[in-house]
Amino acid sequence: MGAESALAGSMPRIANYMALTKPRVTQLAVFCAVIGMFLARPSVPDWRIVLPAAVGIGMLASAAFAVNCLIERKIDARMARTARRPLAHGDLGVVQAVVFSALLGGAGMWVLYMLVNPLTMWLTVATFVGYAGIYTVVLKPATPQNIVIGGLAGAMPPALGWAAIANDVPAQAWVLVLIIFVWTPPHFWSLALYRRDDYAKSGVPVLPVTHGIRFTCLNVLLYTIALFAASVLPFAIGLSGAAYLVVAIALGALFLRYTFMLNRRYSDDLARKIFTYSILYLSLLFGGLMIDHYLQPVFQPVCLRYWSEADCALLGYGAAAVRDQQAAFRQQQRF
């Protein structure tokens, strides 16, 4: 009976520690990192690297979010959306949060250094410092452009994943980082729009509070246009094929439609809808990248062997590659 009571009493405490890590945000970050891992190799990457890399990146991301909750506990207590967070509500103390984040971050560093590679560890630590330190402490209370300037830290997961597999961060990985970097402002500002009264109480200088709804809606639209352009870059540089391009255009067109509607006639419901869709958008976009990555080896031989150079060029294949593949195919037919 005593053991059952102790277990029942420990469950709320475990839930409080889990809440510090912002699990849904952490899951999205790890998902984007894993996509970076799969794109870093033509074949399926070694699970002995993928698994510890995902765990290590997730642990350091969770530690960063815990530090964020620690630093912003007084702000969180003034906002209805965040007032129930463990530190803001008093369910956990400062010392508990510090020890938890230190242990989690230290364990994540060990996993990445020992089981993945030092480059991934240092990049992830830099991301931790950028988010928990520079963004949370310096930028967020200082400027309504905090999410733009500090957005690089939140955009890093694909580069971390790529580094885990390739021990390098080439230009292709930074294109993926750019997509998330440009995605972040319309994602956050749509939330801030329908939560503007909450942010006004908190004292945090977010764009809808400092510059008004109309100006914020315009910026959401402009960044969504930039996001549409950034989302087709993987196809433009040959990282992805036609399947991804179709997905990117379809998802981007719907995002643009919503933001145009927001500028024509604002409503909190539409801003909330855009915020929800932005999460789905990023998940489907990166999922489309991975699916396309493994479709290309299946589809490419058909294109390069039987289609004209012009048709293959529309799908991102260079003329030289088409000629070489078709010449090799004709050579095989002679035998």
For each of the chain's 335 residues, which pLDDT tens digit applies?
Answer: 444 444 344 456 788 889 888 999 999 999 999 999 999 988 889 999 999 999 999 999 999 999 988 888 888 888 888 878 888 888 888 899 899 999 999 999 999 999 999 999 999 999 999 888 888 888 887 888 888 877 888 899 999 999 999 999 999 999 999 999 999 999 999 999 999 988 888 888 889 999 999 999 999 999 999 999 999 999 998 888 888 999 999 999 999 999 999 999 999 999 999 999 999 999 999 999 999 988 866 555 545 544 555 555 555 555 555 555 555 545 544 44
pLDDT of residue 308: 55
pLDDT of residue 8: 40
Q: Are 260 and 221 in contact (CB under 8 A)?
A: yes
Tell me the CATH number for domain 1-169: 1.10.357.140
Write the pLDDT tens digit of every residue in 49-72: 999 999 999 999 999 999 988 888
Which regions of the chain carry the CATH code 1.10.357.140?
A: 1-169
Helix axes 47-71, 118-128, angle to 10 degrees: 20
- Give the side-chain half-sphere CA count within 13 A for 220: 34
pLDDT of residue 313: 54
Task: Report the SS3 class of residue 328.
Answer: helix
pLDDT of residue 320: 53
pLDDT of residue 5: 43
Q: How far apart are CA 11 and CA 124, in angstroms?
A: 30
Nearest to 237 by CA among 281, 289, 311: 289
pLDDT of residue 295: 81
Q: How far apart are CA 217 and CA 201, in angstroms?
A: 21
Write the pLDDT tens digit of every residue in 75-84: 888 888 887 8
Which regions of the chain carry the CATH code 1.20.120?
A: 170-296
Q: DSSP secondary-structure letter at 46?
A: P
pTM: 0.84
Q: Are 92 and 209 in contact (CB under 8 A)?
A: no
pLDDT of residue 335: 44
Class of domain 170-296: mainly alpha
Task: Report the SS3 class of residue 169.
Answer: coil
Q: How far apart are CA 137 and CA 1, in angstroms?
A: 46
Q: How far apart are CA 165 and CA 117, in angstroms?
A: 9
